[in-house]
Amino acid sequence: MSGRAQHCDCLVIGAGPVGALLASVLARTGRRVVLAERGTLERTPSGRPETRGYALSAGSVTLLEDLGYWAALAPFAAPIREVHVTRAGTLGSVSIDADSQHVRALGQVVPAAAIDTVLADALRESGVQVLEQTRFAELGPVRAERRQVVLDKEGGQQRFAPRLVVAADGAHSATRAAAGIEVLHRRYDADALVFDVRPARAHQGRAFERFTSEGPLALLPQPGGSMNVVWVAPPPVCDARMALSESERIAELQALFGWRLGRLDAAGPVARFPLELIRARRLHAERLVLAGNVAHGLHPVAGQGLNLSLRDVAVLSALLQPPGDPGAAERLSDYEKARAPDIDRIVAATDFLARQLRVRDALTPHLLGSGLLLLDRIGPLRSRLAERAMGLDPLPRRILRAIPPAGAVEVSA
Ligand SMILES: Cc1cc2nc3c(=O)[nH]c(=O)nc-3n(C[C@H](O)[C@H](O)[C@H](O)COP(=O)(O)OP(=O)(O)OC[C@H]3O[C@@H](n4cnc5c(N)ncnc54)[C@H](O)[C@@H]3O)c2cc1C
């Protein structure tokens, strides 16, 4: 192990969308930030294929605009102009469209790979010290107001002494476990298969959610005409679908979804995600804080995971701004107070939806699912419920305006 521990203000563990975004914003405020990722920043084509397309609510888009990242993401985004909800075996359907809500789009779908690329570029410009292929190994005690941390890189170990550790290493966080923070955990009897298809007819910004007795099937519009499929079913059904040839799998999808967009053709690899609920019992420990999936892992039924996580990033970015000690106990307990109600509300709503999925003829919860995407834009809701539920006003938006634009801050090495 190398000799003296390296000092920094914040050591962020995990460069998923949450860790990468937070590290780059904190560096812009003048914090000295180190970011450790067990893989590499750009996961394609050499790393794991990232097949997801994130449905971002209008509130998340506003937040990314305020932080200065939306302009780079916009060319990769497809606006959702209509959400069409149906239930297999019934004629019932419900639609919500942007015009009736007096908005230009109900949300935007951005490929996860595009977010990875844009954030990798932002990190390069922001002065963050990025350690790729570096894994969290050990959490030590607090000494002289710094948390001791050991990281593993290619068999060797490096010691760090940050004022604050940010655990952003995903739902099965080793950092959270090392801090002794317990979680509420429920494995749903379901996995999601995620891949792209190309429909013969233009999607025209329509998103489709079809509820079947096995689970929800969503087709989200993507730029360039393809659609991102999120196909949820019990694990044995997913096993059987993974064992099919590509053409057999698409034929099964077509039979379930129908022909409203004409013939569907496969347009990429299939990835599989186990679905689970995770809620950390606390959001912080001494000089350590949790963000994103480390704090909350959700069923993807309403596409809320990253939307919720972006609000963690907004509040943390606001609370950790200089001057002063970023790991001070009051800042971390302010974060817990600010975030817990929003997290609890979204965890409860998505868990309710996930468990209602097999209720016959119940379109209402599914409409609620689509409606979650709109929560921050629907007029009558906006003034009270949405502003509090989405956690965007007034605290983060006001404080985020104080974050210097990219390139404006010199970060010392
Ligand atoms: C099928 C599916 C569809 C979804 N669709 C949507 C959607 O439409 N809209 C939406 O808002 N959300 C959606 N989500 C949720 C979204 O994927 C998550 O909220 C988001 O990925 C959380 O990002 P994160 O950075 O917290 O965690 P992750 O993306 O899990 O990133 C964690 C990072 O930490 C790294 N890491 C792990 N362990 C270590 C270690 N020991 N040391 C160093 N690094 C480590 C990992 O390599 C990874 O890069 C979906 C999720 C699923 C499963």
pLDDT at position 52 is: 87
Question: Token pair for residue 188?
Answer: 């749903």
225, burial (CB in 10 Å: exposed 0-12, middle 13-18, buried 19+): middle
Contact indicator for 377, 386 with CB cutoff of 8 Å: yes
More confident residue, 397 or 346: 346
The boundaries of the domain holding residue 369 are 6-186+275-400
Q: Is the pLDDT reported for residue 278 higher than 50? A: yes
What is the Å distance from ligand 1's center to 17 Cα? 7
What is the Å distance from ligand 1's center to 49 Cα? 13
What is the Å distance from ligand 1's center to 292 Cα? 8
Confidence of residue 386 (pLDDT cuts 50, 70, 90): very low
The reply to whether ligand 1 has any atom less than 6 angstroms from the CB of 338 is no
The reply to whether ligand 1 has any atom less than 6 angstroms from the CB of 194 is yes
Q: Which residue has the tokens 């932080």?
A: 67
The reply to whether ligand 1 has any atom less than 6 angstroms from the CB of 221 is no
Q: Is the pLDDT reported for residue 406 higher than 80? A: no
Residue 217 lies in a domain: no
Residue 79 CA from chain centroid, whole number: 18
Which of 47-56, 76-85, 200-209, 243-252 shows the lowest per-residue confidence on average (mean pLDDT)? 47-56
Complete DSSP assignment for 147-206: EEEEEEETTEEEEEEEEEEEE-S-TT-HHHHHTT--EEEEEEEEEEEEEEEEESS--TTE
The reply to whether ligand 1 has any atom less than 6 angstroms from the CB of 222 is no
The reply to whether ligand 1 has any atom less than 6 angstroms from the CB of 78 is no
The reply to whether ligand 1 has any atom less than 6 angstroms from the CB of 176 is no
Q: Which of 268-282, 347-361, 380-394 has the highest mean pLDDT?
A: 268-282
Q: Which residue has the tokens 């990468």?
A: 20
pLDDT at position 206 is: 96
pLDDT in tens, 84-138: 888 776 666 778 888 887 888 989 999 999 999 999 999 999 999 999 999 999 9
CATH of the domain at 53: 3.50.50.60
More confident residue, 413 or 74: 74
Task: Identify the residue whose C-alpha is closest to ligand 1 atom 27.
Answer: 170
Q: Is the pLDDT reported for residue 290 higher than 50? A: yes
In total, how many domains does the chain have?
1
The reply to whether ligand 1 has any atom less than 6 angstroms from the CB of 13 is yes
Q: Report, as an integer, the average pLDDT of 394-399.
A: 52
Residue 409 lies in a domain: no
pLDDT at position 410 is: 44
Q: Report, as an integer, the average pLDDT of 320-331.
A: 96
pLDDT at position 353 is: 81
Residue 105 lies in a domain: yes
Q: Report, as an integer, the average pLDDT of 40-55.
A: 73
Q: Is the pLDDT reported for residue 148 higher than 80? A: yes
Q: Is the pLDDT reported for residue 42 higher than 90? A: no
Q: Report, as an integer, the average pLDDT of 35-46.
A: 80
Q: Report, as an integer, the average pLDDT of 268-294.
A: 97
Residue 27 lies in a domain: yes
Residue 407 lies in a domain: no
pLDDT at position 398 is: 55
The reply to whether ligand 1 has any atom less than 6 angstroms from the CB of 319 is no
From the alpha carbon of 19, which atom of ligand 1 is closest? 25
What ranges make up the beta strands (E) of 222-287?
Answer: 227-233, 264-266, 271-280, 284-285
Q: Is the pLDDT reported for residue 177 higher than 80? A: yes
Testing ligand 1's pocket by substitution, the residue of 11, 12, 18 carrying the most ligand atoms inside 8 A of its CB is 18
Confidence of residue 319 (pLDDT cuts 50, 70, 90): very high
pLDDT at position 387 is: 40
Q: How far apart are CA 303 and CA 308, in angstroms?
A: 10
Q: Which of 258, 17, 249, 24 shows the shortest CA–CA distance to 130?
A: 24
Residue 408 lies in a domain: no
Q: Is the pLDDT reported for residue 390 higher than 50? A: no
pLDDT at position 391 is: 40
The mean predicted confidence, pLDDT, of the chain is 87
What is the percentage of the chain residues whose pLDDT exceeds 90? 69
The reply to whether ligand 1 has any atom less than 6 angstroms from the CB of 59 is no
Residue 274 CB contacts under 8 Å (≥ 6 apart), including other chains: 187, 191, 235
Residue 77 lies in a domain: yes
Residue 94 lies in a domain: yes
